[in-house]
Structure formats: structure tokens, C-alpha cells
Amino acid sequence: MPHPSIRSTLAVAALALGLLSPALASAQAAAPTAAFTDSAAAGLSGTRRVAISAVVVSFQASVAGERLGGSGMFADKSSARAVLALPDMDPALQARIADEAYQQLKAQLTAAGYEVVPEAEVKASAVYGEMVRLAGLPNYTRFGNSLGDMTLVSPSGLSPYLPYGLEGGLFEQPKSYIGWVSGMGGKSITPGGPSVTSIAGIWKLPGLEVKLAKALNANVVKAFYVVNIGEAFADRKRALGARIVTTGEGSASAQLGLVPEQTRIAFRTPTGNPKWQKVAFTKPAPAKDGDVVVRLASPMVSDGDFFSVTGTSRLGGIFAPGADFQFNFTASLDDSTGYGAAIDGMIASATASMVGLVKP
């Protein structure tokens, strides 16, 4: 709260709800671009066999926008936070989307000229079993990333797992706005789920992936698709007069998209680094959880209207810890068929762009 000497009156401004304009959405839905992350296609030249060990679709369940107070004696020190959440999703729909992403990956790798090792052969490997015991997670794990809460979903045949923390970078450090990550230790609320400590402790995972690649004489492939729900915005303002009045504003744009930089396909090679790749922790950076990594380099946003949004607001303080102005928006999925089809199309397009960079 502002310092009492300012004698501000706090008031919560009306919430502003809305969707991105069709013109903006269409402009962002252009053909995706892909890029290498500190690697090159030549790193895959040793073999044309590929073994898919993980396909993970991360469904964002919350995002937030914050405006923090400034500094100085006369600065507006009040804070505002707006949260957009989609807490309820149909697991069957999520499973279908993950299964389709897996089929698309296999089909496009095959079309590019790779030999995809059968799933049964991958899972029969003792090394794959070691990887799952070390890092495997329950399907539909609720956790978080730097954007907010999310659900990790994999196709029925594979176990989801996250990269070793030092290869995932800042994006894998979870934030939670709807309580899916505990405040103490940053642990998932899903039994058997990850924590900040656990993803930082699976340092053997890169070496096991290299070991699996050697055992199968194939490049080990992992695909991660981060599905976003939109954006939230917060602000606070002061009006000077007989007394200083501070107000807060919050708004949200519910819109389906794929998150660039973190949506990626990572390849661990038989001759790869058995330790781990270096990723900057002082600033946001793409994950580097493989010897060759290709990523979605431009945003993908659907121009479909799949959601309805409601909002509430309240003042912070002793009985409502957190920002001085708090805005909470809840999205509901109104068109699950259109939503699923849109994600299928975006994932297929993103996969095609990324695989296109590593054609043998």
C-alpha cells in the first residue's frame, strides 16, 4: 500500500474485458518461422534413425500482468496484478491433442527422410526405463513455468518429463497464480509431480539420453509444445487534486496460441554431450536440452474465438495479501471442437517448420 504520508485514496477501477482485434490476430497467425538454438543440422548427420522419447504439450492454465510501484519519495508505490486463468480443461480433449501432436511428429520426421524407431523398441530399452524412473511424471501433471500455472500432457504411450533445470533455463522456474505450485519448495500439487528442487536434481538425464541414443543407434527426440491462453494487463494511476487518488486497472485478452522460443524439438545424439548444455539464467533464453535444438521463433496466435471471460476485482491488504489492486479473469472454453482443431493445425504447422530445418 502507498505510504500513509501520501494520504492516497485507493479505488479499484472498472475491469476492461476484451479479445484481441481480428486484424491483430490475423496478422500474428502468419506462417511460423523456426530457428536453431545454438546448433546446426550437421549435428544429426551421424544417423537417420530417430527415437522419440517424449512429446509434451504444456497447456497454460494461468498468465499474469503486473505493474509494480516506482521508486523515490513522491513515486506511486502502489502495485497492480491481473491474472487470466483457464483452470478447467477436459482431460480427454487434452489427451487427443497430445496424441495428434505425436502422430504429426512421427509423420513429418518420416516424410523428411528419417527412420522412426518403433515406440515399443524405445520403451523396451532399459535406459528408457532409467530415464522414466529418474524424471518421469504422471500424465496431466499440474505445475508451473515462468508464465504461470500449466498442465503437462503426453500421448498415452509415453511418460511426460521436463528437461534438467539448467538446460531449461528461467522458463522452467515456476510461478503460480491459482495454487498449482506450493509456496514452500515450489512443488506440484499433483502426487508424484515435480518441484523446483527435483528438476534441478535430474542432472543425470542428459547423459541417459545420450546413452539411449547409443543403445538404439538413433538421435533421441523430444518435442515440447507450449499452448497459451492469452495475456493479462495491469496498471495503476494517480490523480492529483485536493487529495491524491490512486486507481488500478486490469484487463485480459483470451486468445489461443503457441508460445515461441519454448515450443521446440530437441535431438540428443549418440555422440552428444553426456553432461548438459549451458543456458543463461540471468535472462530469458530458449531451452537447450539437446545437442541439436530447433524452436518456434515467431508467435502463433489463432484468430478463432473459443472463450468467454468473466472478471472480479478487489483491493489488497492485510486480508487479501498481494498487490494493492487485484484483478482476476476466468476463461471458459465455449468451442472445444474449434479449439482442438486450431491447436492441431498450429502444432502441425510449427512441427513442419521445425522439422524443415533438419531434413537429412
Can you tell me the distance from the alpha carbon of 25 to that of 331, in angstroms, rounded to the nearest whole number?
18
Do residues 64 and 316 lie in contact, with contact meaning Cβ atoms separated by under 8 Å? no
Q: Which of 212, 225, 215 is nearest to 267 (CA)?
A: 212
Can you tell me the distance from the alpha carbon of 134 to that of 255, in angstroms, rounded to the nearest whole number?
36
Q: Which domain holds residue 283?
A: 16-63+92-231+251-315+335-356
> Is a pLDDT exceeding 80 seen at residue 55?
yes
Looking at residue 320, its pLDDT comes to 75
Q: Could you give the C-alpha distances from 86 to 50, 256, 310, 314, 330, in angstroms and in order?
A: 35, 11, 11, 20, 6
Q: Looking at the chain, list the stretches that DSSP marks H as alpha helix, in order from N- to C-terminal side.
A: 22-28, 91-111, 119-124, 126-135, 165-168, 196-200, 205-216, 336-356
Summarised one tens digit per residue, pLDDT across range 284-311 is 899 999 999 999 999 999 989 999 999 9
- For residue 145, being part of any structural domain is answered with yes
Q: Could you give the C-alpha distances from 65 to 192, 232, 261, in angstroms and in order?
A: 30, 5, 20
- For residue 74, being part of any structural domain is answered with no
- For residue 39, being part of any structural domain is answered with yes
Average pLDDT over residues 45-55: 97
- For residue 149, being part of any structural domain is answered with yes
- For residue 99, being part of any structural domain is answered with yes
Summarised one tens digit per residue, pLDDT across range 152-195 is 999 999 999 999 999 999 999 999 999 999 977 799 999 999 99
The number of residues making up the chain comes to 360
Looking at residue 78, its pLDDT comes to 80
Looking at residue 257, its pLDDT comes to 96
Query: Total domain count for the chain?
Result: 1
Average pLDDT over residues 62-86: 82
Can you tell me the distance from the alpha carbon of 297 to that of 34, in angstroms, rounded to the nearest whole number?
5
- For residue 205, being part of any structural domain is answered with yes
> Is a pLDDT exceeding 70 seen at residue 15?
no
Summarised one tens digit per residue, pLDDT across range 270-285 is 999 999 898 887 788 9
Answer yes or no: pTM beyond 0.85: yes
Percent above pLDDT 70 for the chain: 89
- For residue 349, being part of any structural domain is answered with yes
Average pLDDT over residues 203-213: 98
Do residues 256 and 340 lie in contact, with contact meaning Cβ atoms separated by under 8 Å? no
- For residue 297, being part of any structural domain is answered with yes
Confidence class of residue 22 from pLDDT cuts 50, 70 and 90? very low
| Strand partners of residue 63 | 84
Average pLDDT over residues 114-119: 98
> Is a pLDDT exceeding 90 seen at residue 11?
no
